[in-house]
Structure 1
Amino acid sequence: MDDQVQDFLHYLIVERSLSKNTLDAYRRDLAQYTHHLTEKESLTSLKDVRRVHIVNYLYELKDNGRASTTIARNIASIRSFHQFLLREKETDQDPSVHIETPKAERKLPKILSTSEVEQLLEAPDYSTPFGKRDRAMLEVLYATGLRVSELVDLNMEDIHLTMGFIRTIGKGNKERIVPLGRMARDALQLYLDEGRSALLKRKKSEALFLNHHGERLSRQGFWKILKKLALHSNIVKPLTPHTLRHSFATHLLENGADLRAVQELLGHADISTTQIYTHVTKARLKDIYSTYHPRA
């Protein structure tokens, strides 16, 4: 089974050009799935997999407290895998064909208020190279709505400060050009002038944002930085690397931005994904009404 999983992952790399994060998700999902088939179902060949085996695995995920979104992602991974095996004539049937995907709960994204964003942006100590880097990263995230993976993947050639935009490669290997506001440009320029060279330590790197080794900062590295800055800024709300992206979209819509424009800026393939932010703005309006209207 391991060889067939590797063949499938190779297909995803060559034919589908999926991102590293998506490939890692497929790899984890299928490793857990094939482990279940061999250990719990005592199967030795993928030709013997039937619908009941997949259903048993999904019930196991549910019993372990996995969210409906996680189960839905696993179903998608399993279905793609079995379709690949059928096309490659490794099996003669697709046991996943009638598996139903659970409806995902649409949870409203957590966002920061504009004052909380200001608190966070002021948290880095930008008298130091690391502080200049951290301030630049936060400013860029809030100014552009980039995903954190897109942020840490930025190279020097992707930044066009004079023209005021950033070039990024998003999901599905799609390129998009995102405008860069004045304050983000100023923070980036300060980092490039006084911070990056100190972090580079005479090394060579095309990466824009560097760690203390002078190498490209990782997503995990950014997450640790964000948690530290959240403590310094006294923000009590749960804060994740996606919070600034959510805040970017919500604040744009609250100030009258067109939904289609926000979709383009975020790099969403489907506008229904962007529409979740309209629910956030309505929820906030209701909270404001309840708090401030004298007869609410």
Structure 2
Amino acid sequence: MKWQNALIDYQHYLKIERGLSQNSIENYSYDIKKLTNYLNDNSISKNPITIDNDTIKEFIYFISKSINPRSQARLISGLRNFFDYLIFENYRTTNPLDLIESPKIGRKLPDTLSVEDIDLLINTIDLSYQYQGINLGERNRAIIETLYSCGLRVSELIELKISDLFFDEGFIKVTGKGDKQRFVPIGVNTQKFINIWRNIRNQIQVQPDSKDVLFLNYKGKKLTRAMVFTIIKKLVEKSGLKKNVSPHTFRHSFATHLLENGADLRAIQMMLGHESITTTEIYMHVDRSHLSDVLNKFHPRK
């Protein structure tokens, strides 16, 4: 079908022209799949090339019943971009979402953990835990320490390679969104925990496509995003911590604690790999008392 060819072209555009990660491309594609599923389920004889404004309105109304306003806004934005692409490539002449407004949402502040929370989670890890003769407790500690001390995204963590470790220089090389690379400082303690895991890793029969991957499962394969989420979920439950914690929570906590301790926002931006300083500025909310302390300490007319 013509529109399916358009979807394939759009995915190539996202990868080559916009430099998006495979995960981001899959998210955009999933939005389009939601729309086509809706059309098929309701026996609507239209596709993304022929769909009109009224049908899009009905779809948005339908989808709003099952997703929150933030997810709804993201879906509308993704579909709007897709239809803009179809116009640019002459698949259609109008964007059916031009007159549709996204729901108004407040800016979501990131969840963070305190230093005490971090210590609790790390101290809860059973360092003697083994599976199939492989000590995965030490691996899990290295994972948590790396997420927190380097501020990595979960996708960056599972793609981290042994050849990306420059411990003599005190840095690791991280491949972020759009395959953009950056160097992030890494502390001595985190290096120590990673080296402990590397010694254990040497005991695993590593799969050919994971020879250079740092964090593996007991089968010698690269960890999945879902597995990292599961490790953290079980750890939080075991610790008794009553907070909603995900891999990204450690990244937020990394940035928050740096800012609270006086780090420069531009430096935090570079370590997080944010393309725009505006993205990093969300952390300015974190501790109003800290901002007051800065004012009292440095303003000439305090």
Both structures adopt the same fold (TM-score exceeding 0.5): yes
Find 2:63's aligned residue among 61, 81, 103: 61
2:272 is the counterpart of 1:271:
no
CA positional deviation for 1:7? 3.0
Provide the residue aligned with 2:298 in structure 1. Answer: none
| Aligned match of 1:97 | 98
2:205 is aligned, of 201, 206, 212, to 201
Structure 1 residues 144-293: aligned runs within 5 Å: 144-193=150-199, 195-198=200-203, 200-201=204-205, 203-204=207-208, 205-282=211-288
Q: Secondary structure at the match of 1:71?
A: helix
Q: Write the distance in 2 (CA, Å) between the matches of 1:227 and 1:139.
A: 16
- Is 1:10 the counterpart of 2:12? The answer is yes
Compute the displacement of 1:45 (Å).
Answer: 4.0
CA contact (8 A) 1:69 1:104 kept: yes
CA distance in 2, matches of 1:233, 1:102: 37
Q: Name 2:124's counterpart in structure 1.
A: 123
Q: How far apart are residue 25 of structure 1 and its match?
A: 0.5
CA positional deviation for 1:284: 8.6
Contact 2:80 2:97 (8 Å CA) reproduced: yes
Q: Secondary structure at the match of 1:176?
A: strand
Counterpart secondary structure, 1:122:
helix
- Using structure 2 for the length normalisation, give the TM-score: 0.86
* Distance of 1:172 and 1:242 partners within structure 2: 18
Q: Does structure 1 retain, via aligned residues, the 8 Å contact 2:31–2:78? A: yes
Counterpart contact for 2:113–2:249, Cα < 8 Å? yes
Q: Counterpart of 1:86?
A: 87
Q: Which residue of 1 aligns with 2:34?
A: 32
In 2 relative to 1, CA 28–149 (structure 1 residues): closer, same or farther, beyond 3 Å? Answer: same
Q: How far apart, CA to CA, are the structure 1 residues paired with 2:290 and 2:110?
A: 12
The alignment's C-alpha RMSD in Å is 2.1
- Which structure 1 residue ranges, 5 or more long, are not aligned? 287-296
* Cα separation, partners in 2 of 1:68 and 1:284, compared to 1, 3 Å: farther
Determine the C-alpha separation between the residues in 2 that align with 1:43 and 1:202. Answer: 50
Displacement, 1:139? 0.8
* TM-aligned CA distance change 1:146 to 1:16, over 3 Å: same
Per-residue deviation, 1:102: 2.9
Distance across 2 between alignment mates of 1:156 and 1:31: 37
User: Among the aligned pairs, what percent are the same residue?
Assistant: 39
Q: In structure 2, what residue type is equivalent to 1:125?
A: D
Q: For 2:271, what is the secondary structure of its paired residue?
A: helix
| Cα distance in structure 2, aligned partners of 1:43 and 1:183 | 60
Do the aligned partners of residues 283 and 226 (structure 1) sit closer, same or farther apart at CA in structure 2, a change above 3 Å counting? farther
Distance in 2 (CA, whole Å) between partners of 1:109 and 1:283 is 18
275-284 or 70-79, which deviates more: 275-284
- CA pair 8-92 structure 1, distance change in 2 beyond 3 A: same
Deviations 1:253-277 (A, max 9, x none): 1111111111111111222222222
Q: Displacement of 1:183 after TM fit? A: 1.1
Q: TM-score, normalised by structure 1?
A: 0.88
Say if 1:165 and 1:220 are closer, same or farther in 2 by CA, change over 3 A.
same
Deviation at 1:48, TM superposition (A): 2.9
Report the Cα distance in structure 2 between the residues aligned to 1:119 and 1:280, rounded to whole angstroms: 21
Residues 75, 268 of structure 1: alpha-carbon distance in 2 compared, 3 angstrom cutoff: same
Cα-to-partner distance string for 1:45-98 (whole Å, 9 max, x where unaligned): 44432222222222222222x122211221222112112222222212222233
Q: Deviations over 1:230-265 (max 9, x none)?
A: 123222211111111111111111111111111111
Q: Is the 8 A contact 1:71 1:102 kept in 2?
A: yes
Aligned in 2, Cα 1:42/1:284: closer, same or farther, shift over 3 Å?
farther
Cα deviation digits, residues 161-196 of structure 1 (max 9, x gap): 111111111112211110001111111111112x21
How many residue pairs match? The answer is: 283
CA distance in 2, matches of 1:283, 1:25: 38
